[in-house]
């Protein structure tokens, strides 16, 4: 009797194992599909501004002469600046650092010049503005002809700054800033479609910031002309005086940023 019962139990267990195996094998027969997306990433965009410059002075041009490494020299027929002498106001597109748009030590009444400045915004659309700041205006030394001109005393700037800002070059040196849509920097087309006059006057009347009213397209080159002129009517009051300033060009993304700063020039 016991032997028969054990056989029935073993038979039942065998049946359960068979059924379980059949069920397990049946699950792989359902219709199925798998889709896989690989390599999902987020990469931030970038904005990079580079600047180049070509300098003119009394009709002469600061140009690269030779190669490897080559030097920048004045080229032209005007007697000053002296042709073939060194200059540093021209360079290829780069990030700004030690470059100078203006670096003149012996300007005279009647002198004039112009810098052609090209701005290159890489990758993304951006707002752009020019900033003029840290303006200095010094008498430096007091020559005998300068004393008492225009009823003003010549005062050498105190090292502590108490008499700083006493020079007369700042109020006599005039500038014109214009945007050149053709990048040929021909100032005589101001008022037409080719040139947009930004401002004209002394460093004070130019203001501190000059924003473009519309963004620059990524990859686009924007050209400016900055002319300067010391009128021949200026007298001895500017002898040995010096004026300096820091010039900055700033860009900021335009997408999702409709008003990065006031879009009108600031007053000094």
pLDDT in tens, 153-180: 566 654 444 444 577 888 889 988 888 8
State percent of the chain over pLDDT 90.
Answer: 24
Asked if the model's pLDDT at residue 63 lies above 60, the reply is: yes
Enter the DSSP assignment of 80. S
* pLDDT score for 11: 47
Q: Answer for the pair 149, 158: CB distance below 8 angstroms, yes or no.
A: no
Q: How far is 155 from 141, CA to CA, in rounded Å?
A: 8
* pLDDT score for 150: 57
- Mean of the pLDDT values across residues 16-33? 59
- Mean of the pLDDT values across residues 84-109? 91
* pLDDT score for 183: 77
Question: CA angle, corner 73, sides to 71 and 76, nearest 5?
Answer: 150
| Lowest model confidence (mean pLDDT) among 27-31, 139-143, 146-150, 232-236 | 146-150
* pLDDT score for 152: 57
Tens of pLDDT, residues 209-256: 878 888 888 888 888 888 899 999 988 888 888 888 888 888 999 999
- Mean of the pLDDT values across residues 96-119? 90
* pLDDT score for 242: 87
Task: Map residue 93 onto helix, strand or coil.
Answer: strand
* pLDDT score for 187: 58
DSSP string, 123-152: SS-EEEEEEEEEEEEE--S--TTTTTGGG-
* pLDDT score for 126: 92
Asked if the model's pLDDT at residue 16 lies above 70, the reply is: no
Average pLDDT, the chain: 79
pTM of this prediction? 0.74
**Would you list the domain boundaries of the chain?**
48-253
Q: How far is CA 233 from the centre of its chain?
A: 35
Nearest to 102 by CA among 84, 117, 120, 92: 117
pLDDT tier, 182 (very low <50, low <70, confident <90, very high otherwise): confident
* pLDDT score for 2: 55
Tens of pLDDT, residues 147-159: 665 555 566 654 4
The residues facing 132 across adjacent strands are 247
């Amino acid at each position: 009797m016991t032997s028969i019962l054990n056989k029935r139990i073993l038979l039942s267990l065998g049946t359960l194992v068979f059924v379980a195996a059949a069920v397990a094998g049946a699950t792989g027969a359902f219709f199925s599909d798998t889709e896989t997306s690989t390599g999902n990433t987020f990469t931030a965009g970038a904005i990079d501004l580079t600047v180049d410059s070509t300098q003119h002075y009394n009709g002469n041009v600061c140009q690269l002469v030779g190669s490897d490494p080559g030097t920048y020299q004045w080229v032209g027929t005007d007697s000053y600046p002296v042709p073939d002498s060194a200059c540093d106001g021209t360079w290829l597109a780069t990030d700004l650092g030690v470059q100078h748009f203006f670096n003149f030590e012996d300007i005279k009444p009647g002198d004039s010049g112009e810098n052609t400045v090209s701005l290159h915004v890489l990758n993304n659309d951006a707002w752009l503005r020019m900033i003029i700041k840290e303006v200095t205006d010094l008498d430096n030394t007091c020559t005998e002809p300068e004393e008492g001109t225009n009823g003003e005393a010549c005062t050498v700037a105190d090292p502590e700054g108490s008499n700083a800002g006493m020079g007369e070059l700042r109020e006599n040196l005039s500038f014109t800033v214009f945007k050149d849509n053709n990048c040929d920097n021909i100032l005589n087309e101001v008022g037409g479609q080719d040139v947009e006059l930004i401002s004209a006057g002394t460093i004070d009347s130019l203001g501190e910031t000059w924003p473009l009213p519309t963004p620059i397209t990524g990859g686009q080159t924007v050209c400016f002309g900055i002319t300067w002129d010391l009128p021949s009517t200026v007298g001895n009051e500017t002898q040995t005086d010096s004026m300096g300033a820091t010039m900055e060009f700033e860009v900021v993304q335009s997408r999702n940023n409709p008003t990065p700063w006031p879009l009108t020039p600031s007053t000094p």
